Amino acid sequence: METRIALQGTRDTQYGGQILYRIEAHVRYDWHGQLQDRWMGASEITANRDLLGLRLVKQPTSCEVYWVPNHPEPPKCLLK
């Protein structure tokens, strides 16, 4: 499994702009008999890139893919 810290966008604040990041994981999983191979979100979105980097120090080895049925939000990854 691969992980990365990915740019998610920017946000304007009264003190200037912020850059937003989140951890993404490259995962493979079976969904109704179809192999899925994709990058998916594996953390909250935050402006604190260093905090995300600390979460990756242990180098996660697996990911539990989950989603809310009948909800338009894409699947997410819970790093283990």
- Provide the residue-wise pLDDT of the chain in tens; the chain has 80 residues: 799 999 999 999 888 899 999 999 999 988 889 998 999 999 999 999 999 999 999 999 999 988 888 888 888 999 98
Q: Give the three-class secondary structure for 62.
A: coil
What pLDDT sits at residue 4? 97
Q: What is the pTM of this model?
A: 0.85
Both tokens of 79, joined, read 């790093």
Rounded to the nearest 10°, the torsion over CA 20, 36, 73, 44 is: -30
What pLDDT sits at residue 15? 86
What pLDDT sits at residue 38? 93
Ramachandran bin of 70, using left for φ above 0, alpha for ψ from -120 to 50, beta for the remaining angles? left
Both tokens of 50, joined, read 């260093």
